[in-house]
Amino acid sequence: MAFQFDTETQLTEQSPGEWSLTLSDQWNIGDNPNGGYLLAPLLRGLSTLSPHNDPLSVTAHYLRPGSGNASALAHGSLVRSGRNISTLRGSLEQAEKTRVEVLAAFGTLGAGSDQAPQVSIPAPEIPGPDQCRSRSGLEQGVELAIQNRIEMRIHPDQAEAGAAEKAETSGWIRFLDGRQPDPLGLVLFADAFPPPIFGLLGKIGWVPTIELTVHIRRLPAPGWVQGEFVTEDLHDGRMIESGRLWDSTGALVAQSRQLAMLLTPEG
pLDDT attached to residue 194: 87
The answer to whether 118 touches 218, Cβ cutoff 8 Å, is no
pLDDT attached to residue 163: 65
CB atoms within 10 A of CB 89: 16
Output DSSP code: residue 195. Answer: P
Where do the structural domains in the chain lie, given as residue ranges? 4-108+127-261
Closest CA to 38 of 261, 216, 209: 209
pLDDT attached to residue 138: 47
pLDDT attached to residue 204: 64
The answer to whether 10 touches 184, Cβ cutoff 8 Å, is no
pLDDT attached to residue 140: 59
- Any idea which fold 4-108+127-261 has? Porin (2.40.160)
pLDDT, block means (10 residues), the chain with 267 residues:
95 97 95 95 97 97 96 98 96 97 96 72 95 72 87 88 79 98 98 85 76 98 97 91 97 97 65
pLDDT attached to residue 263: 75
pLDDT attached to residue 137: 55
pTM attached to this predicted model: 0.93
Which three-class secondary structure string do you get for 124-179?
Answer: CCCCCHHHCEECCHHHHCCCCHHHHCEEEEECCCCCCCCCCCCCEEEEEEEECCCC
pLDDT attached to residue 4: 97
